[in-house]
Every structure is written in C-alpha cells, then in structure tokens.
Amino acid sequence: MATLKPNPYIKLSFSTLSLIYSFLLIGLALLMAGGGDGWISTFWASTLVIISLPIASLALVHRKTKKGKKYSLFALLMALIADILLVSFTYFEGFEYAFTPFQYDINEEIRSLIFSWYLLWFIWQLFVFIVFIINLKSIAK
C-alpha cells in the first residue's frame, strides 16, 4: 500500500527520468522536423509530453490515493490532447511524412528515426494509460 507521503527521492527520481524521456522524444521530433522540411507535427504534439509524463510518474508514486487518481486523469487527458494535435496537425501537413518512408525505400536513417519516435510515443501513451488504470482500480476498491 502506498503511503500518503511518498519518499521525496522517489518523486525526484521518477520526475527526472520522465523529463529525460520527454526531452529525448522532443529531440527525435526536432530531428524529424529537419529544419522545416520534415514532419513538423511531431514536435508540436511532443511538447505536451513534458507536462503529461512527469505528472503520470507522480500519479504512479501517489497510487492508491485520490491525489494519484487526479494526477493520472490529468496525464491521460494531456495524452489524448497530444494525440488529437498530432493527427490534426499531420492531416494539414500531409500524412506522407508519416508513412512514405515505410512504403518506399527512401532513406534507412529517416525510417529508423520515425520508427524510434513512434516507439517512444507508443511507450509514453501506454505508460500513461496503465498508470490511469492502476489508479482507477485502486480507488474503486
């Protein structure tokens, strides 16, 4: 059972790791933007990771509390907003940036970069969703 006041070092560790992960995701998005010639939508959508992921980490630290449930709900809403932004910005920018490197053998480096970003994006979304489910189940009991 998680206590109401978790260890501050655990909070700091989780927050620091989530910020490092966030900046890694944003860094990959900046590389994909390619100075305005690439897929720019990923950068704008990735900026919400800086808010959502540390809050989801705090929700995990505060699991089994009402505070943790609030944190996880907020993190989930931010993740959903990021998804909506990503799809809508990509729609206006053009989906060819997201899928063309996989359909045609254009550039292995670009394909690897986009795949890495997709993987990190999926892991972040999955983490936020799992933390939300953990907090939802623990409060329901």
Q: What is the pLDDT of residue 2?
A: 47
The whole-model pTM stands at: 0.82
Closest CA to 68 of 13, 136, 121: 136
How far is residue 56's CA from residue 74's CA, in Å, rounded to a whole number? 8
What are the average pLDDT values for consecutive 10-residue runs of the chain, which has 141 residues? 67 89 92 74 90 92 87 94 91 72 63 86 94 80 54
